[in-house]
Amino acid sequence: MHAYKEMYLNDAMENLGEAMEYAVLSCGMTMDEFLDLLIAEGLAEQFGKGVPKWVSGTSGTELVWEVLYRTGKMEQEDFPPARIEYEATPEYWCGRILAYYQWYTGKSFRNIRDIISMDEILRMYPTLHEASEEKFIDVMIEWERRKDLPTQLQRMRRIVGYSQRLLAEKSGVSLRMIQQYEQGARDINKATGTNLLALARTLGCRMEDLMEMRAEEEKGDL
C-alpha cells in the first residue's frame, strides 16, 4: 500500500529533494544526519503517511527548519536563508528518489534507513540520476536481494565457527574491516593481497574463495 496518495507524490519528491539539498549545502549536515533527525522527531513517519502539513503545506527548507528547531541544533535567528534554486544537485536527486522509493514500497523511512544509507544512494547518482524512477526501483530490488545473502567471507567464517571478533584476532585484520567486507560497505574484491591472504589462511581456504562473483549484468559500479 502506498504511503501517501499519488496526487501528493510530486510535492513529496520536491520537498524532500529541497530538504536534503538545504540540509547539506546550507546547514552543513550530512544527508544521513538529517534523515536520522527527521526519523527521531517523528516527522519522517508523518511525511511517509502523507500528512498534508509536511508533504504539501511545508517546503523542504521549512521542514529542515522544523527539525533544527525541535532538536535545538540551531536557533531560529541563525537559520541559513532558503536557497534560491533547487533541483540540479546530487543531494536534491537523492531526496527526490528517496521519497519516490518510500511511496512506491510503502516502507517506513526508518526501515529504508536500515536497508540503505543516503551515502549509498548518493553513490548511485552518476549512473541513475538521468534514468527513470522505475530503474532506481529495479536497482533497489536487487540491492535488497543481495543484502539478504551472506557474503563469501561470512560463509567461510561460519563454516569454521568463528565470530567476527575471533577472526579479527586470529587473522590480524581489523574487526571493523571484516564487518565492512561482510556488510558490503567495502568491496572485498578490491581488498589488499595482505588482508585476503591473512583471512584465507585463517579460514583454511583459498583467497579466491573469499571473492564475490559478479554476474555480467552486475559489473560496473553504481
Task: Name the residue with higher pLDDT: 74 or 140.
Answer: 140
Each residue of 212-221: pLDDT tens digit? 864 333 434 4
CATH number for the domain formed by residue range(s) 152-215 = 1.10.260.40
Please name the residues in contact with 66: beta carbons below 8 A apart, sequence gap of 6 or more.
41, 43, 58
Q: Domain spans of the chain? A: 6-143, 152-215
- How high does pLDDT run on average in the chain? 88
Secondary element (H or E) of residue 46: helix 43-48
Supply the pTM of this predicted model: 0.67
Each residue of 63-114: pLDDT tens digit? 999 999 999 888 888 889 988 888 789 999 999 999 999 999 888 899 899 8
Cell of 122: 548518493
Backbone dihedral angles phi then psi of residue 162, each to the nearest 5 degrees: -95, 145
pLDDT of residue 1: 39
Cell of 102: 518510500
Q: Which of 41-45, 85-89, 136-140, 195-199 has the lowest mean pLDDT?
A: 85-89
Please name the residues in contact with 124: beta carbons below 8 A apart, sequence gap of 6 or more.
136, 139, 222
Secondary element (H or E) of residue 108: none
**CA distances for 18 relative to 11, 62, 100, 126, 148, angstroms:** 10, 10, 14, 19, 32
Task: Name the residue with higher pLDDT: 222 or 171.
Answer: 171
Q: Which of 36-40, 147-151, 156-160 has the lowest mean pLDDT?
A: 147-151
